[in-house]
Structure formats: structure tokens, C-alpha cells
Amino acid sequence: MSDSQVQEYLARLLAVQQRALAELTDMPREELRFAADAPRWTSVRRLLLRLGDHLREHTTQLAEAREAIGAAPTMPQRILAQAMIAQGYLLGAMVGLRDEDLDTPPAPGEWTARQVLEHILSTQAGYLEAIQQARQARRPVERD
């Protein structure tokens, strides 16, 4: 499979995730009890829980398949994968967050959601720039 095909799968997976977020973020709790016409999952609640379970189940399968065919991730790829897991937690923490919530501090003197997000954005960009500069300079460190 070429890289372009892998990128296409990533785009399709992200599109399905975005669609699920757009359609389900504001679902009222009582709708979790609605009956579902799915063979194994009889309620909306069960189906919603399966969204995450199914991803975890087959992510494990994909990781094993990669190792079995000799395509295990490199150390930099593993580190980036951990960053993507953290990204997923961050996106999960944002589900249902509304514009009017962005500037409300959780307690006096604590950062607002907007301040946290702005800090993450600027810091992540700074880390990327520092990595790019280090790769260009190509100076090894003695110990890491």
C-alpha cells in the first residue's frame, strides 16, 4: 500500500469521527435508552460505547499485524503515536465544549479553556520548530 492510500484511510477515518461528533455531541441522555436495530447492540447507549471499544479492539489488531509483517513502527513513530493518543484525549476533553465556555475560568486565578488551548497551540508549534531546527543543525548530544 502506498503512502497516499494510507493518507486516504486516515482522512476517511477522521471524516467518520467528525461526523459522529457533529451528530452526537448534543445527544440528550434519555436518547441513550432508545432501541437500536443492530444485531448485537440493542440500544443507542451500547452502540455509542462500541464506538470507542471497536477502535481499541482493532487498533490492537493493526499493531500486531504491522509487527507480524515486519512493519513495526520506528522509535520516532512510536513517540508520535503516543502524542496522537494524547491528542485524542485532548479532543475528547473538548467534546461538547461551547464557545461561551471558552473564557469562563473554572476557579478564580485558574486558566480558562481558551488559555489552555492557546498555550497548547503555541507550545506545540514551538516544539515542532525546535525539532526542525535540530534536524537541520544535525548536532548530536552526548547523553539523552
CA distances from 139 to 28, 104, 116, 124, 133 (A): 55, 44, 33, 22, 10
Alpha helix stretches (DSSP H) within 95-112 = none
Task: Give pLDDT tens digits for 32-73.
Answer: 999 999 888 999 999 999 998 999 999 999 999 999 999 999
- Per DSSP, the three-state class of 36 is coil
Residue among 28, 97, 91 nearest 106 (CA): 97
- Digit-coded pLDDT (tens) for 96-116: 999 999 999 999 999 999 999
Q: Do 112 and 97 contact (CB within 8 A), yes or no? A: no
